[in-house]
Chains A and B, each alone.
Chain A
Amino acid sequence: MAARKSSTEMFVRTVIARAYPRVIGQHRELSWVFFDIFLPLMATCAYVFVYKAIRAPEEYIGFVIMGGAMTAFWLNVLWSMSSQLYWEKETGNLGLYVMAPNSLMAILLGMALGGMIATCMRALVIVVLGSWWFGVTYAIGDFIQLFATFMLTMTALYGLGMLFASLFLMFGREAWHMSNLLQEPVYLASGFYFPIRSFNFWIAASASIIPLTLGLDAMRQLLFASGAKFGFLSVRVEIAVLVVLCVVFIGAAKYSLDYMERLAIREGRITDTRK
């Protein structure tokens, strides 16, 4: 029992320790506010004006604002988590992480939480200012379902991020390009700027393996009066699938990180910073 408590405490302390430099870094230099919040807000507005140019119904503007806000989380997962272990390897920290008596999952979680201030701020600013500028109105029917959807989406998404972190590390130098490659295709497949129902059923169903697809669809259904009209599946079904994705991705991430750690210790190649 004592050992169990100690490992839990170690996990939490590791999360805090890895989150700390990110939080401090963001306080130390505030340039990210411009590059990470203001500029993406402008990019989201551009998609709103595309809909205005083709005279789309008003609901679509709300859909774009929500999608633009959720890009923050996807980018945080890709760049601050998935490709981060590779970056840590290149800067010489990964060997230290593997040697230290802590969990790699805790380190990755710390990275994600440390970057969460910027991520949440970016999402919040896009939602608040975007809704204000373009007069988006919300009609929230069920707060509990909305909260559950958001939390499940985030859990599954960050589980996927942890899985990617170990996979990308094994891809070596291709890690960054994999992250780059997964930006626009996922924006497309997950329907960040349009309802996923615009695709046929099988394409939408295949895209549902990305947690943001169903998460975003369910949130749009719960946030907008006409959201259900554009929904892919019912909110209850989408929540159920998200629960399954959480279990699968976190389990797979744990297995994959453990495997990578064993490989790193046994073969000593993964932590090698040869360029």
Chain B
Amino acid sequence: MKRSELSFPLVPRFLRFPALSRSFTIASWLGWQIESNWADPFLFAVYSVAKPIASAMILVVMYNAITHGNTSSPIFPYIYLGNAFYIYVATVMTGVSWAVIDDREHYRTLKYIYIAPLRVPFYLLGRGVARFIIGSISVFITVAFGVLFLKVPLHLSDINWLMFFAALFLGVFALAMMGLVLAGVTLLIANHVWFVGEAVAGALYLFSGAIFPLDILPQFLRPIGFLMPLTYWLELIRRSLLGHTAAAFPTLAAFSNAQLFGILVGLATFFTLLAFVVFRYCDFLARERGMIDMTTNY
């Protein structure tokens, strides 16, 4: 037996880092096995390309139908890149929350995971990693397609890479926490809707300024957008990729990059606390109501 395992019971439960990292890494490996083992490489490639490109092309066709292909307007890269990086919202949130339904009703292993020496929230976060990787491939393909075929003004030498990766890390972290909130709620609901994460991500499309500036929203709806970390995350991503072009819209123009990072860190911290509180509460209710091994074959 390893030394770390021998001393394990003496460490307070909330500081047992090996248990947390083990839960996360094993779940990441498991998630990748589930996601990648299902298809032959050709179908996997089609799946990785067709879905994000189609999603982007819906907006491109909408845009072209009205502007007759005027892609030089600053709103075009605003919409295109916002939509491309929004892929992460659906994939990360779905990855974390869908694991509940998948393990509870499909593989029927959630009850065993609960009795295993794992921390369930970290296990669920780990299950989201595979979707994050697939989402990253989709984002890359979508952005590359935009640059190569749709004249999205992106130049590798002009990109602020440090800002880009810092914003990406913080944004994906906040998304994972939002996914954990959703996973907690999913513990308490039946399998009526196939992808709860995608439904929530679809709704947040409205409030995140992903595909239109928040100023377009009615005044009373804008505060919801300003409470979402996604709003600041996407603005930072656009600024890091496009530079001055991204500041053509007045919604967040008054904020400096440092202020946007500050707000994003604050909201990510808030959602982290919220995620653990909500998950813990939902987890308690699910155990109380005997829903950990529920199957709903409606």
Contact = CB atoms under 8 A, between A and B. Distances in A.
Contact of A35 (B57, B196, B213, B216): B196
A188 B61 CA distance: 9
Interface stretch (B145-153, B201-209, B267-275): B201-209
A118 interface: yes
Contact of A194 (B46, B50, B55, B65): B65
B54 A39 contact: no
Of the listed residues B46, B66, B189, the one surrounded by the most CB atoms of chain A closer than 10 A to its CB is: B66
A2 interface: no
A80 B272 CA distance: 34
B189 A53 contact: no
Interface string B45-71: 011001110110111011111110000
Contact of B51 (A36, A45, A88, A181): A181
A224 interface: no
A188 B65 CA distance: 13
Interface stretch (A19-27, A141-149, A234-242): A19-27
Contacts of B54: 184-185, 187-189
A52 B212 contact: yes
Interface size class of A (residues with CB under 8 A): 35 or more
A42 B217 CA distance: 12
Contacts of A193: 58, 62
Given A43-B202, A46-B206, A188-B57, A54 B192 contact: no
Given A42-B203, A43-B205, A177-B38, A194 B61 contact: yes
Given A42-B205, A193-B62, A50 B212 contact: yes
B38 A174 contact: yes
A51 interface: yes
Given A31-B192, A46-B205, A49-B212, A187 B199 contact: no
A245 B263 CA distance: 54
Interface stretch (B157-165, B254-262, B290-298): B290-298
Interface string A180-222: 1101110111001111001100000000000000000000000
Given A22-B298, A183-B51, A39 B61 contact: no
Contact of A32 (B63, B66, B192, B203): B192
Contact of A39 (B75, B192, B203, B212): B203
Nearest to B208: A46
A29 interface: yes
A255 interface: no
Nearest to A92: B297
Give the secondary structure class of A's interface: helix
A88 B43 CA distance: 23
Given A50-B62, A50-B211, A79 B194 contact: yes
B20 interface: no
Contacts of B133: none
30 contacts: A21-B297, A22-B298, A25-B296, A26-B192, A31-B188, A31-B192, A32-B193, A35-B200, A39-B202, A42-B206, A43-B202, A46-B205, A46-B210, A46-B211, A49-B216, A50-B63, A51-B66, A53-B211, A53-B216, A54-B62, A54-B67, A60-B65, A60-B66, A79-B194, A91-B297, A114-B298, A188-B55, A188-B61, A194-B61, A198-B61
List the 3 closest A-B pairs by CB distance, nearest first.
A25-B298, A43-B202, A42-B203
Interface of B: 37-39, 43, 46-47, 50-52, 54-55, 57-59, 61-67, 75, 79, 105-107, 188-190, 192-194, 196, 199-200, 202-207, 210-213, 216-217, 295-298
Given A177-B43, A275-B107, 12 more contacts: A25-B296, A31-B189, A35-B192, A35-B196, A36-B193, A50-B79, A51-B62, A56-B65, A180-B47, A181-B50, A187-B55, A188-B61
